Each structure stands twice: as structure tokens, then as C-alpha cells.
Chain A
Amino acid sequence: MAKITFITRENESIILEGTSGSVMQLAVDNNIPGIDGDCGGVCSCATCHVHVDPAHTDKTGEASEIEADMLELNDHANEQSRLCCQLEISEDLDGVVLQVAESE
């Protein structure tokens, strides 16, 4: 079980709990605004872009090359950026705080 906090674009904190699957799917299933997951989680659409709280980047690890290439051309991307379809829910993510990024 991992507790995951989403901070929406309106600065609302929403805490969800998950055991498996991707963080994107958890967010979509719980209607987190700004996380659309249009492509269903295959790293094609970048509509699940989040900024990982700098204190928690050790929980999420680094983006793969393909994911980093997607983010490279995103106007709202920074060093904290991840596509949360590529974050698998596990105990390692417990307590992570994710800020929903601005839309392209």
C-alpha cells in the first residue's frame, strides 16, 4: 500500500492509496483534474505530466530515455518532471507528493 498525494493546478491536495498499477491509472480512476492519460499509459501522449516534490525524487527514480525525450519538448517540463504512467505503484512510492503540471 502506498499513499500518494496529488497537488492539483488549483493547489488542492488529494491523497490516494494504491497497491498496484500505474500512478496515472490511480489518478484517472479517481478523477484527479489535469491527469488525462489519453494513451492509456504507453508513454505517447504526455497528458499525465507531474512534477515530483524535490524531497521525494529518490522514491520515483529517474525517467527512462524514451520518457525523457517526451518531456524534453514539453514547455512546462523541468528536472522534477515525470510522466506518471511510467510510475508503478509500490511501497517505494509511499508518501510521494506529485504536483500536476500545467497543460501544454
Chain B
Amino acid sequence: MEKSALPDVFEEARISKGYGKMNDQDDPVTMILGLKDVRKCAHNWKNFQSGAEPGRIVVPSEVNIRDTRQIPFEVDPPEHKDFRALVEPWFKRPLEEKYSQELKNQIEALVEEVLTLDSVEVIEEFSLKLQSRALTLLLNIPYSEADLWISWGTHVFRSEGNDLDGDKAKILYDYIDEKISEAIENPGDDLYSMLLSATVNGKKLTREEVKGVMILTFSGGRDTVINAVTNSIAYFAEHPESLKKLLEEPEVTGKAVEELIRYFSPLTHMGRVVTKDTEVCEHAVKADTRISLCWASANRDAKVFEKPNEVVLDRKINPHVAFGFSHHNCLGATHARQIMNILLKTLAEKVASIDILDSKENIEDLDQFKRKVGYEYLQVKFNKK
């Protein structure tokens, strides 16, 4: 098998039952695996809620390390709508010319830098830097702030061998608290200040609500973006013909971004809490238990996708759910798509080929399923044109 391949480990369960089972800190999860079922459950916020105890819809659950409600992520309609409407225009800024140009400058500089090196560990020396620097644009704060985030390492919540590291989470929460205090003292044109001055339903956002949006912004786009970028490098290392295609047919880039994100599905699944006894896939689920919407499985559903386990770079119809579905679809998707779009164009223009020197897969343990989501490390050599 190719090193860059991400196998579909859900196929048999998806076809035979439509669901899988996972225990997580004694709060079991019924994983929904088919695309149509995932969409239906994502849309049905009355039976499958997000506004449960903070941290509970995340798998693995964060209830023991977090009290702050992430907003708008852990709020249900109708309250959800106004919070989402408040932040939506800010998270569409990546479409602005100035933003995308600055992002292009950042990514081009990083690619130029790794092209001068004999060996690059992609996660630490490329993806983490790229993700952290790009996040300064999303927050509209100075570029230099990225250095601190890079020093935190790859995971905000997770560290080696320990899925939920409360001490690491505290670093982020304390940092955000400090930055909110600074923005109260000295308001600027950054995301903290925008939130602090905003009103929803005629009421100013509380400090806790501002913190909830900021925690979501930091944690939602960290592992996900890092995995998407790292997996892309591995893919192009083994598929130089795809880099060539993107150079010759740059109009394919948008479709390639969607296809890579479908194939990688950087976020495997997201939970919901069941509000009443009901059933999914003809399987009873009890009130106050959890289901998860398994985006990674749904994105390989052969009922919808032809050749689901192949990367078809110019796939024309691609109704994937890698950014989620319905009310809670990914707020950072515009930023993520812009990163991937610019990355693909830059690689196609500047990189002749990539050699994988060494790698170790990062396998998520989902009880019944063990899914490759990315790499523990990926050592490569970028070759210049």
C-alpha cells in the first residue's frame, strides 16, 4: 500500500449495520456511518443536540478538562442562529483580496524555505508553522504571535500517549483569558475586540462567551489543518503527476481541494447527545447517550461516491461532509479552503518532486475501528524545480 493512502476502516460496518460502537470514558458513542444517515442526524438538532454539557459532544469527551461552552459550536437553534450570524462575516474574510494575498506570501515563503533544506519533518517544520501563521490572519493580529503557538507543539488538547491533557488545555485557556483582558484594556481591530464589542439579541457578549468563540477558533482549526496539510504533502510525494496536472490545469485546483479534504476527512467524527429515546439505522438509541456523525466514513460511502477510495483530483460531483453538514458546518471552512487552495498552487509552481524519507502513521483508536488520520512524523525532502 502507498504510504500516503488513508484506508476506509468503516466499510464493513457501514454496509452491514450502518453504525459502529465506541466506548469513550464510560460515555459510549453510537457512530453513524452512512452519508444519508449522517446528514439526517446532523440536521435533526432536536433529537441530537449540540448544546449539551460543554465538551460532551467532542469525542474523546472534554467534559473533564473544559467548562467553557464553545460558541456557536455547542449551542442549538434557535439561539445558535444569532451567534452564527455574528461571527460568519468575520470568518468569510479569507475571501478578501488582502487576506488571500498575505496568506499567499506566508505560504510561498515557507515553501521557499523548506526547498533549501535537505530533510524536513513536515508536521513540526511545515504544517504547524503554516497553520499557526495563517491563524494570525484569521484573528487579525500580528504575525509574530505565531511563534508562541508554534512553541506549544502540535496539539492543544492532546499530547503523546495521553488523549486528554488538562495541563495543556489550561495553557490555551489561560492564554485566551490574558488576551481577552488585553483587548478590554486596549481594543483593536482583532477578533477578540470585535467579539467584546458585539451584541447578540440586544445583549453584549459575556467574557465567557467571547472565550467560548476563541477556544473554538483555536482548537477547531489546529489538528485538522495540520493533518490536511501534512497528508497533502504525503499524497503529492507519491503522486507527482497530480502536481503536474495542477500546474497545467490550475482551474482544477478548487475541485482538488474538495477531493483531498473528502479523502483525508481530517476530523473523523463529531458527537451529539440524544435528547429522547429514538432509533438510528434501525438501532435503538437511548436519551442521554451519545451518537457521532462519522464524516470520515460517510465520505467513503459507495452509494454516493464512485471509486470512493481513490483520489480523483478533478471529481466533479463531490457532496462530501468533511466540513460537517447543516447548522453546525465548519465555521473555519473558508479559511481552510483558502489555505489548501494556495498551498496546492504554490506546490505545483515551485516544487518538482517530494521524497518521503521516513514516516510513522498516526492511528486513532476508536475501539471497534483503528483509523489512520495522519502521521506521527513525516520526514521528506522537497526538490526544487
Contacts and interface: CB of A to CB of B under 8 A. Distances in A.
Interface of A: 36, 38-45, 64, 66, 69-70, 73, 104
Closest 10 CB pairs of A and B: A40-B254, A42-B318, A73-B43, A42-B258, A43-B319, A43-B317, A44-B319, A44-B320, A66-B319, A44-B318
Given A73-B39, A73-B43, A40 B257 contact: yes
Contacts of B333: 38, 45
Given A66-B317, A70-B319, A104-B326, A39 B36 contact: no
Nearest to B317: A43
A39 B317 CA distance: 11
A44 B258 contact: yes
Contacts of A45: 323, 329, 333
Contacts of B40: 73
B327 interface: yes
Interface of B: 36, 39-40, 43, 92, 254-255, 257-258, 304, 315-321, 323, 325-327, 329, 333-334, 337
Nearest to B318: A42
A38 B319 CA distance: 12
Contacts of A44: 258, 318-321, 323
B326 A38 contact: no
B254 A41 contact: yes
Contacts of B255: 40-42
B327 A42 contact: no
Given A40-B255, A40-B337, A43-B317, 18 more contacts: A36-B92, A38-B333, A40-B254, A41-B254, A42-B254, A42-B258, A42-B315, A42-B318, A43-B319, A44-B318, A44-B319, A45-B323, A45-B333, A66-B304, A69-B36, A69-B39, A73-B43, A73-B326
Contacts of B326: 73, 104
A64 B318 CA distance: 13
Nearest to B329: A45
Contacts of B337: 38-40
19 contacts: A38-B337, A39-B318, A40-B255, A41-B254, A42-B254, A42-B315, A42-B317, A42-B318, A43-B317, A44-B318, A44-B321, A45-B333, A66-B319, A70-B319, A73-B39, A73-B40, A73-B43, A73-B325, A73-B326
A21 B101 CA distance: 26
A41 B320 CA distance: 12
Contacts of A42: 254-255, 258, 315-319
A73 B316 CA distance: 22
A93 to B, nearest CB: 19
A40 B43 contact: no
A42 B254 CA distance: 9
Contacts of B334: 38
Contacts of A38: 333-334, 337
Contacts of A39: 254, 258, 318, 337
A103 to B, nearest CB: 9
Contacts of B327: 104
A69 B92 CA distance: 26
A38 B261 CA distance: 14
Report which residue of A44, A45, A66 has the largest number of chain B beta carbons within 10 angstroms of its beta carbon. A44
